Amino acid sequence: MSFLVEENPARRRFEILVDDALAGFTEYVPRGEVLVFTHTQVDERYQNMGVGSALIGGTLDQIRERGGRIVTQCEFMTRFIQRHSEYADLVVAEP
C-alpha cells in the first residue's frame, strides 16, 4: 500500500491517496500565515490501517517544510500531536 499526501488549495484541505484512490482528508481555514484545521475524515474502507496518522504526519511535515504554523480545532489532529510531540512547535494559539 502506498500513501501520498498532497495539498488541495482549491478545496482547502490536504488529501491522502492510497494506491491512487482518495482515502481521506484534513480540512483547514487559512487565517493569514496560519492554517486552522477543523476536520479530518478517513474513508471507512481505510480506517484502522494507519491512513489517518499518515495523513496528519504528512500534512504537518509539509507545513514544517514551508515554515507554516497551525491551529487545531480537529480532535484527531490534536490527539496525534499529543502523541507525537515533535510537531507541538507548529501549534500556535488561536489568532
Domain boundaries defined on the chain = 3-90
- DSSP label of 87: G
DSSP H or E stretch at residue 60? helix 51-65
pLDDT tens per residue across all 95 residues of the chain: 789 999 999 999 999 999 989 999 999 999 988 999 999 999 999 999 999 999 999 999 999 999 999 999 999 999 999 999 999 999 998 75
Helices 75-83, 51-65: inter-axial angle, 10-degree rounding: 80
pTM listed for this prediction: 0.94
With left for phi above 0 and alpha for psi between -120 and 50, is residue 93 left, alpha or beta?
beta
The CATH code of domain 3-90 reads 3.40.630.30
Residues 6+ apart with CB under 8 A from 41: 24, 25, 26
